[in-house]
Structure 1
Amino acid sequence: VTGPSVLTPLLRSIRVDDRLRDILASEGVIIDPFGALLTLFLLEIVLAETLNVAGPTWWVIERLLIGLAVGAGGAFLVWLLSRTVKRLGGREMALFVIGAAVAAFAVAESLAHESGLVAMVLMAIAIGNLRLPQRERVDDLQESVTVWLIASVYVLLAAGISIDDLTGLWPEGLIVVAILALVGRPLLIMLASIRSGLNWREQAFLSAVAPRGVVAASLAGVVAVEASSLAGSDASRLVAMVFVVILLTIGIQSAYAGTLARLLRVQPMTTVIAGAGEVGRRVATLIAGSGEPVLVVETDEDAVMQAREEGLEVLIGDISDTAVLEKIRLNEAKALLLATPDDARNLLAAQLARSKFNCESVFVRVNDVANIEAFQKLGVVPVSQSEAVASELARMVAGPMFQDVLAQVAEDVTVARVVVTSAAAQREIQAIPELRGTLVVLVTRGSDSVIPNGRTELRLGDIVTIFGSLQDLAIARGGLSVVPDPEPIIS
């Protein structure tokens, strides 16, 4: 069986498209518990004095039900804590999650032996879909603990294998590994990919990457012990054979996986966006909507939560931190967009992106027009939002399109600004009937300015720039604000 204990760190170190990543990750998570139960199911049949399938079948069903119930209960406790205890630090939350997982495993095992793995898998899937506070810190600590635990398991299991057992497998061990990797795995992928929509490049990558994990080693030990007690013979060769398969598949496939992904062109170029404000989220949504992979980097947890609610992939971190840039593999990115409200941070990140990570396509949202020249000297593309909005409005005012619109509406058309102070106006522009007959050209929210569309949602404090007749503007004011009629800024 492929194992998440090996696949998870492997997928963190190489970049493959989302579909392949999901297939490999899901394969490892799903196959581990069901592969273990199937192995133990067959072992129960073999060890039975008479052929009896009903007993082992109920044995499997019982462990599935107990594991599912205990795993769901553990996930519920984690969810309940994250909702009831405020200001819980990342380390404390991570320790609680790990403790809850260990407790769930112990409870499931006490109720039915071999049901703990099912409970752990279900609990992990459920927690993976929860919105935990400081999620990245939780994941980092859990990953560190997991590495140590898995390493300990490998050491303990390998302690029972002698050098003679390993050398005694030559050359049969290499032949078995070659058959599994070059014949068995490609054949399984070919059969499983029928009508799946996977192209030959994706099938080739899945066929070539299938490292075995710690569950396979653990099962080998269990089977060896049971077989020894049944046959009265030493089954250490079985354990040694499994370890040879694990070591060779991990060592060889981990070494060539990244290169193979590049050669097969299954390694997507991701656009990295720094800043999960209105501009950053809007650009990320547009790029993701076109089918391109995009990653948002943000330090503010509230902005991170909002971006994730919109379906965006977000990493908590400082874009001007070299460690963060290395973690997101900026040197492999398609482009970098710096959209934070801090020009100093944007400037430092742009310098690192160009000089250390050789990122050719760097775009910067410039908050202060006085800094445009500094960004231009770095060879990046600066975009000043205020300059762009001003230029567009000036073009509209001076251009024939604007004049045509004014002529078609009325002679008393003017442009005005309204501050949103009415709670009833906190909805999408297209859902506000008082704005009919007007054109909303700009929404200013704090230091951000947005060119709106019908689905743009207004908030209290927004400054809305609209144009229309004086009568229509008065109606618009009644729907948006409780202050006097808007003062025209252009007439």
Structure 2
Amino acid sequence: MHGATLLLIILAAGMASQWVAWRIRIPAIVIMIGAGLTLGPVAGIIRIDLPQRELTDLIGLGVAIILFEGGMDLKFGEFRRVGRGIGRLTVLCPPLAWLFGALAARHVAGLSWPVACVLGAILVVTGPTVIQPLLRQSRLRKKSTLLLKWESIVNDPIGVLFAVLTFQYFTTVGGGWGDTLVRIGVALVVAAVLGGLGGWLIAGLYRRGLVPEHLKPPALMLLVLLVYAISNMFQHEAGLLSVTVMGLVIGNVRLVERNALQRFKENLTVILLAILFIVIPSQLEVRHLQMLDWRSVLFVLAILLIVRPASIALATIGAPIQREDKLLLAWVAPRGIVAAATAGILGPELVAAGFPDAQRLLPIMFLVIISTVLLHGLTIGGLARRLGLAAAAQNGLLIVGASPWARALASALHDLGINVMLADGALPRLMAARVDGVEVYFGEVLSEHAEHSLETQHLSYLLCATDNDFYNALVCKARGRGFGLHRTFQLAIHQEIGPELHRVPVQQRGHTAFDERATFEALHQYLDAGWTIRAVGLRQKDDFALLSESLGVAGRDWFLLGGVSPSGQFRLYSRELAFNPDAGWTLLIFAPERAPRAQG
């Protein structure tokens, strides 16, 4: 097949798999592995005519970018919050998981000791490319999220390094523990120098403007790959550790371009995952799948029910981690692209080194990946809710700016039983809302503290309602992605700014809430004139039309603010993204005192 056609098929299959997974709400990796197996060993459509070594080298480049992006997502402020717990998970847990995994591979799966030790090392990794979507799906609270996120990102290069050193120990003539310790030292030094110092120097170059803006993202990608390749020259697979350290450094320095660089890497990672999770399983052959037997199934059960719980239990003895988090950690450990790629690289090399049972390495790894992703993906939400670690259902509103009108809206939503939070940097403005039982956040929503501690997983909409249109727009752009841009709103921009061409374009702000005449000043003038926010129930299909007719002109005589559907789902109203309420809805309106109230 022509190379361009093959690439198009792989990309289409990968992106379509991720879209289908998003629609049916299951982990994308499951759909992508299924597509890869279907297009590869089953249908024979994907055939990549490259030597195994060259293919694995290309896969390694993709994994390096993925791990660098994960490193950029780690913040030292998060480590300060749950640092001791993270230390246990990234220092004590990996060797324990390695030991128990190797024992299970030897005595349950029946592998030879060299292959069992390599497999145990690979299983140390827990897969950030799988964990991150699961965390979004389950809406875990921040502390639980940080523990799982740090473990998955930091342990990925550690597990790969363990696997490579184990491989070298069993295949290098004359090698021993002393040689292995030297290799570990080399890997750590290389990661510190090329990853840590290199990341700091790159950040310095960017801050001084020595690289033009349009070249910064692609130049960074090239530098990541160079660090990865050079590190591997000193110690095989030390590159993954180096790029993770490099991402950690660049993600935590005061770099103005950090968010833009991270978005570029995130988009690139989505493409790479679409390619890698189709290519790797497509290289399996039917004979590999036939190697899976009842011992392979028992091995997966041992990993799920014995190895992981025992590793977490021992590693967290005396750690400042609450019991519920320990139980969640003991269950949730899905494996992802790094585990698959490492098994794909080391499996054939072990076979060539004289260990024929290493042919089972990759099939067993895919069985572990599919089993853990499915089981953990389908159960993490329910388990988190039962343990009290998940946020409430995503149904509510975050209001930035605790003005009198915003407090009135928050109180009305609170009375309807809808989740609502008021955020403001002035404590006196929040006191009245707190007395009314409304959830509040005291602080700057754009601060690093808010990024680490502001719990918004239970809220579905963002409304920026301060008296500063430009600050509202800034917050919408900075925080809107977490809610979805279609659920990010701000009060109408002041009319005196001028014609549309003179105003902030929609690409640089949130959607206009309610109506283009619902400015901060207008809403407060109406509030001072005696208007109130109240709930109105719709019993029949035509009630909304009758209500609109009785109230007058919308946007002048009254405002529709939002509504609660018969199923209890809150919707914020906007002319830009309007909805049509029907019988059973409860509407929130802002109107003079004579407006009708909720009907029985």
TM-score by length of 2: 0.50
**1:245 aligned to which of 368, 371, 376:** 368
Q: Which residue of 1 is the match for residue 351 of structure 2?
A: 228
Q: Which residue of 2 is the match for residue 189 of structure 1?
A: 312
Q: Is the 8 A contact 2:426 2:443 kept in 1?
A: no
**2:153 aligned to which of 11, 14, 29:** 29
Q: Does 1:281 pair with 2:425?
A: yes
Q: Secondary structure at the match of 2:351?
A: helix
Alpha-carbon distance in 2 for matches of 1:119, 1:27: 17
Q: Cα offset for 1:110?
A: 3.4
Q: Which residue of 2 is the match for residue 11 of structure 1?
A: 135
Q: Does 1:328 pair with 2:483?
A: yes
Q: Cα offset for 1:321?
A: 7.4
Q: Cα offset for 1:224?
A: 1.4
* Match runs of 1:163-178 below 5 Å: 163-178=286-301
Partner deviation per Cα, 1:243-290 (whole Å, 9 max, x = no partner) = 11112212331233233322322024698453699x833459999xxx
Q: Which residue of 2 is the match for residue 54 of structure 1?
A: 178
Alpha-carbon distance in 2 for matches of 1:100, 1:294: 40
Q: Cα offset for 1:122?
A: 0.4
* Match runs of 1:304-315 below 5 Å: 304=446, 307-308=447-448
Cα distance, 1:347–1:44 mapped onto 2, change above 3 Å: closer
Q: Cα offset for 1:198?
A: 2.6
Alpha-carbon distance in 2 for matches of 1:326, 1:311: 13
Cα distance, 1:50–1:64 mapped onto 2, change above 3 Å: same
Cα distance, 1:320–1:111 mapped onto 2, change above 3 Å: closer
Cα distance, 1:275–1:200 mapped onto 2, change above 3 Å: same
Alpha-carbon distance in 2 for matches of 1:3, 1:244: 15
Alpha-carbon distance in 1 for matches of 2:534, 2:278: 51
5+ residue gaps, structure 1: 299-303, 352-363, 381-491
Alpha-carbon distance in 2 for matches of 1:285, 1:218: 54
Q: Is the 8 A contact 2:126 2:152 kept in 1?
A: yes
Q: Cα offset for 1:319?
A: 9.1
Q: Does 1:216 pair with 2:216?
A: no
Alpha-carbon distance in 2 for matches of 1:232, 1:311: 49
Partner deviation per Cα, 1:434-454 (whole Å, 9 max, x = no partner) = xxxxxxxxxxxxxxxxxxxxx
Alpha-carbon distance in 1 for matches of 2:129, 2:478: 24
Amino acid at match of 1:13: Q
Q: Does 1:133 pair with 2:259?
A: no
Q: Cα offset for 1:82?
A: 3.5
Alpha-carbon distance in 2 for matches of 1:208, 1:374: 56
Cα distance, 1:142–1:169 mapped onto 2, change above 3 Å: same
Q: Secondary structure at the match of 2:353?
A: helix
Q: Secondary structure at the match of 2:237?
A: coil
Partner deviation per Cα, 1:391-425 (whole Å, 9 max, x = no partner) = xxxxxxxxxxxxxxxxxxxxxxxxxxxxxxxxxxx
Amino acid at match of 2:356: S
Alpha-carbon distance in 1 for matches of 2:374, 2:321: 26
Looking at CA atoms only, which structure, 1 or 2, has the larger radius of gyration? Answer: 1
Q: Is the 8 A contact 1:185 1:207 kept in 2?
A: yes
Alpha-carbon distance in 2 for matches of 1:186, 1:107: 37
* Match runs of 1:19-168 below 5 Å: 19-50=143-174, 52-85=176-209, 92-133=215-256, 135-168=258-291
Q: Is the 8 A contact 1:72 1:123 kept in 2?
A: yes
How big is the alpha-carbon RMSD for the aligned residues of Structure 1 and Structure 2? 4.5
5+ residue gaps, structure 2: 1-124, 404-422, 432-438, 455-461, 463-470, 496-508, 537-600
Alpha-carbon distance in 2 for matches of 1:163, 1:297: 57
Q: Cα offset for 1:347?
A: 9.8
Q: Cα offset for 1:120?
A: 0.5
Q: Cα offset for 1:191?
A: 1.5
Q: Cα offset for 1:376?
A: 4.0
